[in-house]
Structures are given as C-alpha cells and as structure tokens.
Amino acid sequence: MSSPSPALGPRKTPTGLSHNMASTLMFTKDLATFLGKSLIVLLETMIFTVIPRPRKSVAGEIVLITGAASGMGRLLALSFARLGAVVVLWDINKEGNEETCRMAREAGAVRVYAYTCDCSRREEVYRVAEQVKKEVGDVSILINNAGIVTGHGFLDCPEELIEKSLDVNFKAHLWTYKCFLPAMIAKEHGHLVCISSSAGLVGVNKLADYCASKFAAYGFAESIFMETAAQKLKGIKTTIVCPFFVNTGMFEGCSSKRPFLLPILKPEYVVAKTIDAILQEKVYLYVPRLIYFMMFLKSILPVKIAVLLADFMGVFNVMDGFIYKNKKN
C-alpha cells in the first residue's frame, strides 16, 4: 500500500528567493540614495536660509515677456534691460508695447524688440515666434505674464469672456512652450517663468474663470518642471510666481479686508521679488509670505474652518468693488 503524497502547496524556489532578495536589495539601495540626497538638499536649504543664494547673470540672455505693454510686464522688461539682457516684448497693445520698448532703451537695454501679438490666438503666437527666432535668436528666458480678468460671477459671465480668459491666461503658455522649449532642450539651457496668482492656489468668489486659468497655468508649469526633472535636463529651470492681487489696474476697485495681513501689492515690490526668484532659480514664489502658511492651513484644516478663515480674511468680498475695463493682454 503506497504512502500518502505530501500536501501540495507553494514552494520557494531558488529563483523566486533570488528575485525577492534582489527586490529587497534594490528597495534598500533606492531608499538609502533618497535619504542621502534628501539630507544634502535639507542642509543646502538651511545654509541658503542664512546665506543669500548666489544669483546668476542674465547679461546677453534673450528674455521674452508677454503682456509687456503695461503693469508687471513693463516693469519686468525694464528690470531685465538694466541687467543687460536682450529683451523681447509681446503685447496686443502696439502703442503701449512700443512705449515699453522706448523705456527699456532708456534703461540701458543693449537690444530690445517689440512685437504686436495676440497671445490668445495660437496661429499668431506661432507666427510671431518664428519671426523672433529669425530676427533675434533663440529665447532663453520665457516669461508668460499676459493676463486678463473678467470679474463676473460664473453664471453672469459671457461665454466669449470665459474662453478669452482661458486662452490668454493659460493656453498661451502651451503655445509659447511649444515654440521656445525645443531650443532650450537642445542647448540644455533655459528658464521658464509662469506668472500665475494666489488665485491659482485658492478658489475666489467672482473669479471662477480666472482661477481656472491660473490653476491650469500653475499645474502646466509644474508638470513641465517634472518632465524636465524626469529627463534630467538640469539646465532647464522653472519659476512659478503666485502673488496676491497686484495694484496694476487690472484689479482696479478690489480691496483687502485685512491689508495688514494680505495687502494689495505694489507691482514694483512683486517684480523685485520675481526678478530675485529668477536670478536665484527658485521654483516657487508666493507673495506675500503669508500665502505659504495659508496653503499649509488649507491642507490640514477641516473644510468648514477653511471657509471660515476665507470669510475672516475677506476673500468672499475682495472683488465687490472691481471695475471691469475690458482690458486685453
């Protein structure tokens, strides 16, 4: 009589054991590498918190600024002119753009070029971009600054204004990156600057379309930053700027309920911070610094408390006095 067969079940084969050991070793190695590099980054951050981070030179760099006819765009152009950069100005407002061009020359720009461009139209962005490449050269610092605001409640906002807001504030970023990023990648040298907004971080009453466009611009810029990091393109830098409301005229009539905490910002101050962030190659810039803390609170507070905080800070009413002027980029 034959003896009963042993119960059948899963067996650990030498091959399976080796595979598990290899996976464990790989995980341990990756974890050790991650922790080591993280420690170096933390030490570097602590050092540069005490000692100012070195600033790069932009002399001779070709800097393209959209929405350059007025406001922050004009101030950015003048700042880069003083730093010795070649400045390329884009705006739909030809007269204002040419005035910025004249001011940039007076500020010391070696070379400055003004192009009339409606950034809401993809074909026009592509056409003018080709003109820039032929007449000026490859753009090495791209600043997407052009923006418009409607300031209506969502259901009261005409569809064409919603589409225009998305076209200028967000889609223009897609088309300019398509035009100028390939040359940056080929040379492994470039800087992408997205002027988003605090309204690209937190929803604001009567700014649904504007918030949507600025959230999108922020997410797009961050995604491209991750793409370049994944491809180990260390020469391509990204800076994403999120200021509170800036007193440039675009948000005329808006006010802050707590100006000592969240003031309506002077454009000169925001531009100085933006230039500093670009020269130090910072990825994120929130202005004022309170926004960093508010974003932390948003991530941990119950939603009802976050709503109460927004009410306390006057976010619900910041657009109440807004004066719509049908401004373009």
Catalytic residue among 177, 210, 218, 286: 210
**Could you give the dihedral angle defined by the CA atoms of residues 288, 292, 294 and 298, in that order, rounded to the nearest 10 degrees?**
150
Is position 115 annotated as part of the catalytic site? Answer: no
Nearest partner of 171 among 218, 120, 124, 210, judged by Cα = 120
- Joined tokens for residue 212: 């949507």
Catalytic residues: 210
